[in-house]
Structure 1
């Protein structure tokens, strides 16, 4: 039978993710997709606790703070703009009308993430872009420009060598803090084309080169080719959203299924399958909710929850019970 795409060969067979493993995702918006999928299927997962981070230098700095207990507010990176205080080193979700509130929010996020990381088995890092912005006042690379006038920044391309050095130092600190951790490195399949496809490809090339260098040196690091799967295996614009830049839901699901099928144990895959089936039923909205047929459907949902709870007594299905009860 003919095949109509070039399949990406998943070479790394050393990962074996259990259903009870704890996972932390950091990086670009694609790490939100990965973490959201895992959380939806009841894996103990913390998703981008410091917000979405696209460039590897800032991500490296955040990882350093999480591997130790040395984070303190960087006053030089806190700016007032548009009626809010912002941290140039963090996502806008932490911005606040008062500087004290900004600092407290960041302190709490670091505390939660640091505690979680100390007991995490798998860290999944998604690098988005090697392009970054430097704050001209200090020369530091920022996580987010927060709609501050671009005249205050300079755009740069971080080289593969710089990325390699920064992330290697962070990984050294990480493995000293958590000897059991395994790190999955991947590149976001989202294309950043504000400056054109050529610049996007230059950026992705730096990321991929740096990651392969890290994986070759560190036995606890692994590469998952999410970028290649979308760009080469799903080589068709029907796998993109209307902006022709972001992968469609179907493409994201395809990538996640490949990740699960290749790196998860049988029991973990079975949990994903069963909870996935239940979630589809739970999300069904009836045409006639007042009918006897729907009442029978609700009873069936309760039975499914009870069966799942019996099979997985370590998982919490209270939210699902409440959802069915409120219908």
Structure 2
């Protein structure tokens, strides 16, 4: 007897392995998946400019990185004792203007290198709702608690999103023709926009993505993280206390559905070894000085060394 409807997922023709170089961009769910990649020691870079929710802002940052368009004083503002940039997350904001610009441009250069070297680009879109700065007449990635009166709120149309996704793919392919794209829609509900408005937002993202993926099957794929949480895990026990974000059980489940279909089966045994080591490293002994614990540490160190001989990039 089945008590859930399982979302079908086709196995990737370009699976991720331990030689892959992954760049993950987008919403907070991209961070959840990025943490999984890091835990299992894949070569992954996640959100160098912080969490970004909408397609247009992601496209803008990709364009900057690919064309190496440096940030200047015209791109930043001072508010609440910090320098901010409307294109990036507030976690990068800084009290010193020169250091802030230096940091932004250093990240820009690193992102250019990461995109150029990547084998897989994973982009998670969160919302179609955007805020447009009235003075600059530009869509922002983050309002940085600037008064709302300075922005107009609007929803991106399917056509606009589709064009933005295509531009993002084209920009990346100018510097990297061999990378593979995995797109997904964040399962996090943006209820602050409204219940109906959140569904409109997700629907526009999904429609636009499928229009693009259908035309780019060889290089693009759609992973149904939103559909898995909405359908397979259709129960509030899979949500965090805010009833909006997936809890750890849901994140773990969606990750399993991902690695079953998008990560090379040849690496599954290595992933189990890495997981075993990670659990051992998290172990807290009753007596750290006991002979048994010293032997445990010695065996653990041997396991780590053996894995690092095969995969030099592994760091525990």
Superposition TM-score tier, normalisation by shorter sequence: over 0.9
Inter-CA distance 61–194: structure 2 relative to 1 (3 Å threshold): same
Q: Could you say what secondary structure the match of 2:271 adopts?
A: helix
**Residues 50 and 109 of structure 1 are in contact (CA less than 8 Å); yes or no, is this contact kept in structure 2?**
yes
Distance in 2, matches of 1:75 and 1:203, equals 33
Number of the residue aligned with 2:32: 33
Aligned length: 315
User: Which of 139, 142, 157 does residue 144 from structure 1 map onto?
Assistant: 142
Distance in 1, matches of 2:232 and 2:291, equals 46
Distance in 2, matches of 1:304 and 1:14, equals 32
**Superposition pairs of residues 227-238 of structure 1, within 5 angstroms:** 227-238=226-237
Listed one character per residue, the Cα deviations across residues 238-267 of structure 1 (whole Å, up to 9, x for unaligned) are: 111111111011111111111111111122
Number of the residue aligned with 1:101: 99
**Superposition pairs of residues 155-170 of structure 1, within 5 angstroms:** 155-170=153-168
Number of the residue aligned with 1:250: 249
**Superposition pairs of residues 157-306 of structure 1, within 5 angstroms:** 157-218=155-216, 219-306=218-305
- For structure 2, the residue ranges without an aligned partner over 5 or more in a row are none
Number of the residue aligned with 1:22: 21
Number of the residue aligned with 2:307: 308
**Residues 51 and 90 of structure 1 are in contact (CA less than 8 Å); yes or no, is this contact kept in structure 2?**
yes
Distance in 2, matches of 1:13 and 1:178, equals 20
Q: Could you say what secondary structure the match of 2:193 adopts?
A: coil
Listed one character per residue, the Cα deviations across residues 102-153 of structure 1 (whole Å, up to 9, x for unaligned) are: 2111100010110111110000000011111111111211011111111111
- For structure 1, the residue ranges without an aligned partner over 5 or more in a row are 321-327
> How many angstroms does 1:316 deviate by?
3.4
> How many angstroms does 1:12 deviate by?
5.2
Distance in 1, matches of 2:313 and 2:113, equals 20
Listed one character per residue, the Cα deviations across residues 154-183 of structure 1 (whole Å, up to 9, x for unaligned) are: 211111110101221221122122110101
**Residues 12 and 223 of structure 1 are in contact (CA less than 8 Å); yes or no, is this contact kept in structure 2?**
no
Q: Could you say what secondary structure the match of 2:191 adopts?
A: coil
> How many angstroms does 1:288 deviate by?
3.6
**Residues 10 and 261 of structure 2 are in contact (CA less than 8 Å); yes or no, is this contact kept in structure 1?**
no
